[in-house]
Structure 1
């Protein structure tokens, strides 16, 4: 078997309860040689034990922290260990189709792309509803001289069977971290991921940096991957989910993005501010509202339960969780347990 030219880094996205299905699908559907580094950011006990067993059985490197991780922190921990030509950043809630990784590498080899993203789907059944098929990510200057962000995702919500959906390999501007193949040498020029991007738009920031430094981003539809969100969450996922999509982390990320790229606080950002907490409302609170309303389809009742009762309480709890986390962990301190004979580089 030839020496692997790619390392897969799996890191937590927003929950842990899909760990087994996702990891097993990666091994089942990846035919080329690869290394794998699994970043376990404080998963529940049973999940952690499963990963320890799998690391020993399959021979991958498992790095566990005793606290939840921001996405870019998790990726940087894994990136510090990469010694291959390519690195594939993968969230822990994806299911790839057979041949997904080879298709990404083939694209990069044939186009010299710095970054390659797959045809990304969302929800079950697998590989049916498109989430992302390339997109736009750039800074434009308007007539008043304001620097404004242009972001657009192509084909989201379309069905792959829709005859109007025409897909081909193409250079694009945007790739998401659900699955992202990157030439490792680019980090020699860009440095590690920006850990001040706590939870949102970190993919956009990275793609802007790649373009700024003369790199290219490609979309490869021969690689098929589905990410699988869920609602309601398992109880053991709720703490991490609330932290991962917290108001504080979202506002911190948006502020960092504006400051870093000197962007105007325009309608793009105003829309983000108004939508704060929408994921938590949709994924955590809506199932509770349905339960409390006994399935009665009354919009007034549901709004009273959501915005008069649950949302204010949830916001207070969310603030408490993020404040507590910030005091303990948003500092240059990391506690790591590594299932491997090697020693982790300082991060």
Structure 2
């Protein structure tokens, strides 16, 4: 955990922050211990910030800060970078500054539906080698056609190259944006460091109890891999939102480094990580929503998951440990392994390791109110996350190995069954608690079945990519100090 104290002198002139006057940030009040803004604990990875009297004087009682000078500009940037505050921009570019690029192949119906939804905005449709040439009608619509299929990355790049506006929005032909989605996302670009902003992607059939729907459709509508959840976030590798899908996103053209045309899968993850590496920021805003026409057949859903899994090997080659299935400290790794051993010795060892971790953390928290309780809570959460991370890897990344070991070891077989059940039910509960604005799309046991099938498909694709690329990077866990 990183501990930082912010004072006005941290950045004397605030010249490197660049937030405009009038820009506001909102401290996540869940980070304030007992509502005390002097001590802020949160972010991803977890850190603690101590706000001095000067900083508190710039902050309202409900945690709002408005940029008006160098000091507020510096404080706001620090809180944003820590993930302890969220942006509340007051203005931004207009839809007239945007060109929408639609890469498409063999989906005339989707193109027509999408053009009707974005009428009045500049659009470039890139026909990526459709068997029957597509048509695109409209005064502000331009059509580019490839004679042969070159992939979605190449189609998006061609559309972006033909655009003349400062911002480019990418929308797949199987989505339909809700009204004002552009206005909501464009406001984020008033921060000059933001290169990309993305909406929440929900199911086009947003109400799971209307009409007869298959289990696959209800699972996709509620827990699609395209849906990054109900919580706004800064997008960065290793955080709760490590990337955003290219099915719907807006980019600042001067920051756009192009999709990697050698990739047919995971090109959106690669783009987000390259932007982050070069110092740009990416924002995920679930208030803006785009509906996606999900697959309704379980075979199609699992086939797509397997295809997504093949991209892990490419990401490991290009981004190294950022594509690792597990990342944890050595001490937490020992504690998690000890707990999974399900032995008395393992339980004692885990207790000792976690106790030492909590003690060391307590010493770093200094004068934080209720520091012992905070240290115990944070250590417990870290252990819980470590267990979930390990359980998810067993069921998803390492399931071929887990199955082989389960065949020869009764103890390991019992562990795998328990882990598979517990992890699925816990994730269902977490998803329900995270999004209380809607009813669960599917019950816990149906979710458990779908999730395990989802993991089997993704893991099969992952191993397929690893074997094809002859690179174990996507399977190699990372242990940090």
Answer yes or no: is the 8 Å Cα contact 2:105–2:130 preserved in 1. no
Deviation at residue 22 of structure 1 after TM alignment: 2.3
Aligned positions of 1:1-347 closer than 5 A: 4-12=96-104, 17-27=109-119, 34-45=121-132, 48-49=133-134, 51-52=135-136, 54=137, 57-109=138-190, 112-125=193-206, 129=222, 131-133=227-229, 138=236, 150=238, 152=240, 173-187=242-256, 191-199=257-265, 201-231=266-296, 251=310, 253-263=311-321, 266=325, 271=396
Deviation at residue 102 of structure 1 after TM alignment: 1.5
> Is the alpha carbon distance of 1:215 and 1:255 closer, same or farther for their aligned partners in structure 2, counting shifts above 3 Å?
same
CA distance in 2, matches of 1:16, 1:105: 28
CA deviation profile, 1:311-345 (whole Å, cap 9, x unmatched): 9xxx9xxxxxxxxxxxxxxxxxxxxxxxxxxxxxx
Matched pairs, number: 225
| Structure 1 ranges of 4+ moved more than 4 A | 13-17, 126-130, 134-139, 244-250, 264-270, 272-275
CA distance in 2, matches of 1:67, 1:246: 26
Answer yes or no: is the 8 Å Cα contact 2:104–2:125 preserved in 1. no
Deviation at residue 175 of structure 1 after TM alignment: 1.9
Answer yes or no: is the 8 Å Cα contact 2:167–2:252 preserved in 1. yes
Deviation at residue 211 of structure 1 after TM alignment: 1.2
Instruction: Give 1 or 2: higher helix fraction.
Output: 2
TM value normalised by structure 1: 0.54
CA distance in 2, matches of 1:69, 1:249: 18
Deviation at residue 3 of structure 1 after TM alignment: 9.2
CA distance in 1, matches of 2:317, 2:240: 21
Answer yes or no: is the 8 Å Cα contact 2:100–2:122 preserved in 1. yes
> Is the alpha carbon distance of 1:270 and 1:17 closer, same or farther for their aligned partners in structure 2, counting shifts above 3 Å?
farther
Deviation at residue 255 of structure 1 after TM alignment: 2.9
> Is the alpha carbon distance of 1:129 and 1:22 closer, same or farther for their aligned partners in structure 2, counting shifts above 3 Å?
farther
CA distance in 1, matches of 2:105, 2:161: 19
CA distance in 2, matches of 1:44, 1:126: 34
> Is the alpha carbon distance of 1:118 and 1:66 closer, same or farther for their aligned partners in structure 2, counting shifts above 3 Å?
same
SS at match of 1:194: coil
TM value normalised by structure 2: 0.40
Match of 1:288 in 2: none
Answer yes or no: is the 8 Å Cα contact 1:135–1:174 preserved in 2. no
SS at match of 1:10: strand
| Unpaired runs of at least 5, structure 1 | 28-32, 140-149, 154-172, 234-240, 276-310, 316-347
